[in-house]
Amino acid sequence: MGLCPDCGRPASECGSEQYMVQTRVCGPSAAVDQWRKDNKNPPPGVVLSTVKVKAAVDSPAVQTAPEWWLRKHGYIE
Ligand SMILES: [Zn+2]
């Protein structure tokens, strides 16, 4: 009983069962993919790394914003 050349599972298994596709999104990979899409010709030597984007609510701009601004932009009710 050989292995399926397409999926690598035993041929008996992949020919007799039903399968569905599962997807998930990797945030850092998505960011790199988007960057590559937006930067078609990056200069030589550019190395990509990913960092977590800080939530806007944690930023100094929001932390020091006046109350009317926070209300206007939905940070407080
Ligand atoms: Zn297969």
Q: How far is it, in rounded angstroms, from Cα 54 to Cα 70? A: 17
Q: State the distance from the centre of ligand 1 to the C-alpha of 22, rounded, in angstroms.
A: 16
Note the pLDDT of residue 58.
74
Kindly give the residue spans of alpha helices, DSSP state H, lying in 1-77: 11-16, 27-38, 60-63, 67-72
Note the pLDDT of residue 1.
65
- The rounded mean pLDDT for the chain is 89
Residues with a beta carbon under 5 angstroms from ion ligand 1: 4, 6-7, 14
Q: State the distance from the centre of ligand 1 to the C-alpha of 27, rounded, in angstroms.
A: 29
For 29-43, write each residue's pLDDT tens digit.
999 999 999 999 999
Q: State the distance from the centre of ligand 1 to the C-alpha of 4, rounded, in angstroms.
A: 4
Q: State the distance from the centre of ligand 1 to the C-alpha of 15, rounded, in angstroms.
A: 7
pLDDT at 13 over 80: yes
pLDDT at 70 over 90: no
> What integer is the mean pLDDT of 61-74?
86
